[in-house]
Amino acid sequence: MEKTLETLPLERKKREKEQFRKLFIGGLSFETTEESLRNYYEQWGKLTDCVVMRDPASKRSRGFGFVTFSSMAEVDAAMAARPHSIDGRVVEPKRAVAREESGKPGAHVTVKKLFVGGIKEDTEEHHLRDYFEEYGKIDTIEIITDRQSGKKRGFGFVTFDDHDPVDKIVLQKYHTINGHNAEVRKALSRQEMQEVQSSRSGRGDGYGSGRGFGDGYNGYGGGPGGNYGSGNYNDFGNYNQQPSNYGPMKSGNFGGSRNMGGPYGGGNYGPGGSGGGSGGYGGRSRY
């Protein structure tokens, strides 16, 4: 019995999917080694894996890596302690995107705005606030309604003061709000979607082209005057029982699917990584 109690925490950690425990670390100094990366992040918990991605031929660092903690709580603690500085350089930690999600448009874009689909007529703003405020500080909540009838159109937006709550919420995928299943995705403006498609055209890079989307999401506005179809969110339409087919965020794979080639997708991050500016999560993303 005593042995069973001792092993419960370990078994619980094993059940936590590895993807929820993994951080992408961009903007690494080319001098940073796996040892120094591990030493830095171990201050928040035990690491089960740590790697600095390197060029297969030259063995030179590509400017990014991954650390995997033993629990989600340790990841949360690390992200709450940003900014992070390793070997004299401020780095860019982000929750790692699952391999199967990596090819989808906008998977690696850094945004503070969350799209919430599956909102029913009996769901109000306070339901969204009560649910999502556990993930982080909320700036604004907007449930979209039809201008003429006033009826809810089945979706809304939650804007946080930081990108990490959005990354965490999207990573977890499945959410039940006010008794209804909700679909969550990063809310990308039309401009951002165009940039995503442009950057992926002919590339198919798993981690983008290093354009840095963090400075570009200013098209939403405080009301219905942003870049979502002449101010009335026509790109999203009515949700209408079609949770996988709304708006510009349809699942798909611009540039085609690619073999990710191992647990870290070696070869698909672009030379130089986040630090080198020609691949990675966008070296200019803002926190």
Tens-digit pLDDT profile for residues 60-100: 999 999 999 999 999 999 999 999 999 999 999 999 998 88
Decide: 143 and 118 in contact? Cβ < 8 Å.
Answer: no
Angle 164-253-217 (CA atoms, 0-180°, nearest 5)?
A: 40
DSSP-assigned states of every residue in 143-205: EEE-TTT--EEEEEEEEESSSHHHHHHHHH-EEEETTEEEEEEE---HHHHHHHHHHHTTT--
Given a cut of 90, whether residue 14 has pLDDT beyond it is: no
Least confidently predicted of 60-69, 114-123, 146-155, 260-269 = 260-269
Average pLDDT of the chain is: 76
* Burial letters 80-119, b for 16+ CB under 10 A, else e: eeeebebeeeebbbbbbbbbeebbbbbbbbbbbbbbbbbb
H or E stretch at 49: strand 47-54
What's the rounded Cα separation, in Å, for the pair 49 and 51?
Answer: 7
* Burial letters 187-202, b for 16+ CB under 10 A, else e: bbbeebbebbeebbee
Decide: 121 and 178 in contact? Cβ < 8 Å.
Answer: no
77 beta partners:
none
Sheet containing 138-145: which strands, arranged edge to edge?
138-145, 152-160, 113-117, 180-186, 174-177
pLDDT band, residue 10 (cuts 50/70/90): low
Comparing 273 with 115, the larger pLDDT belongs to 115
Tens-digit pLDDT profile for residues 204-250: 444 433 333 332 223 332 333 333 332 334 455 445 434 333 333 33
Q: The tokens of 246 are what?
A: 């709304």
| Mean pLDDT of the 259-279 span | 38
CB atoms within 10 A of CB 40: 19
What's the rounded Cα separation, in Å, for the pair 41 and 75?
Answer: 10
Given a cut of 90, whether residue 46 has pLDDT beyond it is: yes
The phi, psi pair for 210, rounded to 5°, reads: 75, 25
H or E stretch at 73: helix 72-80
What's the rounded Cα separation, in Å, for the pair 7 and 256?
Answer: 44
pLDDT band, residue 116 (cuts 50/70/90): very high
